[in-house]
Amino acid sequence: MEIMQIVGAGLVSALLALTLKKHAPEFSLAISICAGIFIFIMLLPKLFLALETLQTLSDSIDGNLTYVSLVFKVVGIAYISEFGAQLCTDAGQGAIAYKIELAGKIMIMVVSFPVLFALLELLQGMLS
Amino acid sequence: MKKAGFILLAFYLLITGCRQAYGQEISDQLDMFDFQEINQAMNEGLEQKIDIGELATQAIQGKLDLSPGNILDSIVKTLFKELYSNGKLIGNLLVVGFLSALLKNLTDSFKTKGAGEVGFYVCYIVLVMLLFSSFQLAVDIGKNLISLLAKIMAASIPLLLGLLAFSGNVSGAYVLHPALIFAVNGVTVIIRDVLFPLIIFGAIIRLINNLSDKDMLARLADFFKMAIGWALKGLLFLFITILSLQRISSPLLNQLTLKTAKFTIGSIPMVGDLLSGTMDTVLYWSLTIKNGVLVASIIGLIMVCGLPLFKLAAIFICFKITAGLLQPICDERMIKAIDGVGDFAALLLWATITVAAMFLFAFMIVLSFRGG
């Protein structure tokens, strides 16, 4: 049960951070960041599993699903940017967190252009 | 009881006796007509070859096997076969739907909205491709059927009018000829080259409309749907009106021509009476033949139309079934897209049925002209 490990680690680090906050605030911040990274790493295999399942599912269709890998890219960008933004919020740097989120949004938009163009081209091709 | 049995027996003998004489006479008379062209045109769209001349002889002699059970059986079988052959399409659409639902689930956990949209677009591309390839197939089926029907009609106009003239409706044949050719050609061209592209266009507008959450082009697509529906109705009305008007106006002329002919023949001294009597008999013979050909050509037309219409119906039903199955799990926009294309597939089916019905009516109207 990985969820137990994750929740346990989260609770322990939360308690640690709480007790250290008064005496050494910078250490409490380090602890919360470490806990975040730990959870992130724990989650990665599961995320890959989900993506793999999607890949096998998409392979079973005749149609052109070359763009599915693009979705994975987008999911990765969203995941990482959100993670970074939350760490920054934890550190009390809301402005930086917002900027990271913005960067993530723009990145996703840029990455998703090809698929949007492909869709428009497809519809255009049908009309002619 | 005995008496009734006797009478029945007498009737039977009379009828069978007549039939034999009939058969000979009729096949002789039928030989006068050339069924080559119409047979050729009809057999282009059929796996099982048919012969209109033979069918007509069978119909006149009452040997045609038309039991409702048989017909129903083959209809149900064909429909299910077509649905089954479209199973792959349903399967693919369902998998795409599942995929999009999963992606939505995965990406909904992020704050960034864009992630979900990309997943939708990726699935939508595949969905559009799948939908459109089968829609294109449906368009091709419809177009081919309409072209084939036009060809059959063109091939059978000389035969029909020949029969008409033969059964004493000389002026009818004259009056109908241009009207028929105009109506058949006009309707075919309008439906195949104007309405079909409009239907495709409407379906694409539906697909584009669902790219975003908001209904941007839904009204335009609805307008297309409505306009096509009205155009079909109008065409059908126009077609029937043209033919019916001709039908109403020509008997007057016809009666006149026939009466004159009879009078002229009757006025020939000595043999005149006999000759005009013979003329009547010939007219009745040819009426029988005409009815036989009517039955045969209607059967032929139905056979030609049957399979393509079932194919179209199967594609339409597939779209609707898939939309229904995916509704609980899928993005609303995907459902709308599948359903919308299904609506236009229905229009396609309707247009094709309209053309088939028009040609059937044309056959019936022309051949049900009464001589004299």
Neighbouring residues of B47: CB distance < 8 A, sequence distance ≥ 6: none
Mean pLDDT of B347-357: 87
pLDDT at A12: 92
Tens digits of per-residue pLDDT, B300-351?
888 788 888 888 998 999 899 999 999 888 888 889 989 999 999 999 998 8
- DSSP string of B109-130, one letter each residue: TSS-HHHHHHHHHHHHHHHHHH
* Residue A126 contacts B, CB cutoff 8 Å: yes
User: Both tokens of residue B15?
Assistant: 């009828």
| Residues of A whose CB is below 8 A from B197 | none
CA distance A82 to A103: 10
Within its chain, how far is the Cα of A13 from the centroid?
Answer: 21
The shortest C-alpha distance from A13 to chain B (Å) reads 24
Whether A78 and B107 lie within 8 Å, measured CB to CB: yes
At residue B371, the pLDDT reads 47
ipTM of predicted assembly, 2 dp = 0.73
Tell me the chain A residues in contact with residue B125 when contact means C-beta distances shorter than 8 Å: 64, 67, 115, 118-119, 122
Percent of chain B's residues with pLDDT above 90:
4
Subunit contact A54:B102, Cβ cutoff 8 A: yes
Does the pLDDT value for residue A11 go beyond 90? yes
User: What's the pLDDT band for B18 if we cut at 50, 70, 90?
Assistant: very low
Who's near B303: CB < 8 A, 6+ residues apart? Answer: B42, B46, B48, B50
pTM, whole model, 2 decimals? 0.74
Whether residue B152 is predicted with pLDDT greater than 70 in this model: the reply is: yes
The Cα of A59 is separated from the nearest Cα of chain B by a number of Å equal to 10
- Confidence (pLDDT) at B298: 80
Contact residues, chain A, for B99 at CB < 8 Å: 54, 57-58, 61, 68
In A, minimum Cα distance to B91 occurs at A61
As a whole number of angstroms, the distance between CA B215 and CA A58 comes to 29
Q: Does A29 lie at the interface with B, CB-CB under 8 angstroms?
A: no
pLDDT attached to residue A15: 92
Residue of B99, B124, B200 lying closest to A58 (CB–CB):
B99
Contacting residues for B218 by C-beta, under 8 A, at least 6 apart: B206, B209
Tell me which residue in B103, B122, B204 faces A123 most closely, judged by beta carbons: B204
User: Maximum CA pair distance of chain B?
Assistant: 107
Q: Does A74 touch chain B (CB under 8 A)?
A: yes
Q: What was the pLDDT predicted at B285?
A: 67
% of chain B with per-residue pLDDT over 70:
67
User: Which residue matches tokens 């335009």?
Assistant: B220
The residue with greater pLDDT, B285 or B315, is B315
pLDDT single digits (tens) B175-226: 666 777 777 788 888 888 888 999 988 888 888 888 877 888 888 888 988 9
CA distance A81 to A65: 26
One-letter amino acid of B34: D
Answer whether A4 touches B (CB < 8 Å): no
A49 touches chain B (CB under 8 A): no
Poorest-pLDDT segment among A62-71, B80-89, B137-146, B265-274: B265-274
> Residues of B at the A interface (Cβ-Cβ below 8 Å)?
88, 92, 95-96, 98-99, 102-103, 106-107, 110-112, 114-115, 117-119, 121-122, 124-126, 128-130, 132, 200-201, 204, 207-208, 211
What is the model's pLDDT at position A96?
92
CA distance B180 to B364: 12
The lowest-confidence range among A58-62, B156-160, B241-245, B248-252 is B248-252
| Beta-carbon separation of A60 and B95 below 8 A | yes
Q: What confidence tier does A84 reach under pLDDT thresholds 50, 70, 90?
A: confident
| pLDDT, averaged across chain A | 84
In a mutagenesis test of the B interface, which of A62, A88, A98, A120 is the best target, namely the one with the most B β-carbons within 10 Å? A62
Q: Inter-chain contact A74–B114, Cβ cutoff 8 Å?
A: yes
Q: Enter the tokens of residue B222.
A: 């609805």
Higher pLDDT, A11 or B366: A11
Residues of chain A with Cβ-Cβ distance to B107 below 8 Å are: 74-75, 78
Query: Are the beta carbons of A108 and B112 separated by less than 8 Å?
Result: yes
